[in-house]
Amino acid sequence: MTTQMAVTPTRTADPAARSRTGLLFGTLAVTSVLGLALTVLWPEPSGEWYAYGDVAPIRDRFFAVLTVLTVVFLLGVPAQALAAMLVTRNRGAGWATAGGAALILGAAMQATGPAGWAMLYYYASGPALDPATATAFMARIDSDGLLYAVPTAGAVLVALGTAAQAVGLWRSRALPRWIPLASLVIVASFVLPVNGLAGALVQVPIAVAAVGMGWYAWRRTA
């Protein structure tokens, strides 16, 4: 008489997947820290927006901070979207996928803002224009809604995408629920400071949430 025993397959880690999610986690950790540091260095305007007198004395710093911040943003936001989609496999996956798509599109649109501002204000505040002409020019472009239209629409998409992913992560129960809750602080950033030390403090929970998503995405491949 032959007795057959059920054999439970052993789950083995995929080294390639482990390396890729490790890179994803590392990207989120580095971009989150750099994003906070650059936010502190991002100068605050004297009024509602930047005037010639705000930019001219620090034009090199203004250009460097906004340019590097754009690169960091374009690396970090899609990485967060991918991490959330990797963590949310079944329950809540639709929310996470839709939110990830909105995040990636919104990040591309929002990044046109600081990238364009860095270049525009760098040359407008340079020696090629006299201060009176540069002041009038910068005041004129500040009053043009096109300067903010695309990045504002992108910021709204990023916020909506983050909210959708938070719903997916909450429903999935794949990670602690404080992580999706912390990510929702991005919605408050529309009315809270976005640069300087105050802006960095607002960004802390968002950065911690992003790193948490990366950590749990990496853990899933262990």
**Would residue 210 count as lying in a domain?**
yes
How many structural domains comprise the chain?
1
φ, ψ for residue 175, nearest 5 deg: -150, 170
Q: What is the mean pLDDT, run by run of 10 residues, along the chain of 222 residues?
A: 49 77 94 94 86 91 94 95 91 93 96 92 90 89 84 95 95 92 90 86 94 92 74
Nearest to 216 by CA among 174, 182, 166, 187: 174
* pTM reported for the whole predicted model: 0.86
pLDDT at residue number 11:
55
Rounded Cα distance, 170 and 129, in Å:
53
Rounded Cα distance, 187 and 204, in Å:
14
**Would residue 145 count as lying in a domain?**
yes
Domain membership of residue 212 as a residue range? 16-219
The CA distances from residue 190 to 156, 199, 202, in Å, are 9, 11, 11
**Would residue 117 count as lying in a domain?**
yes
Token pair for 25: 């986690």
pLDDT at residue number 46:
83
pLDDT at residue number 175:
92
**Would residue 10 count as lying in a domain?**
no
pLDDT at residue number 8:
47
**Would residue 7 count as lying in a domain?**
no
pLDDT at residue number 1:
45
**Would residue 174 count as lying in a domain?**
yes
**Would residue 154 count as lying in a domain?**
yes
- Angle, helices 15-41/196-219, rounded to nearest 10 degrees: 180
**Would residue 3 count as lying in a domain?**
no
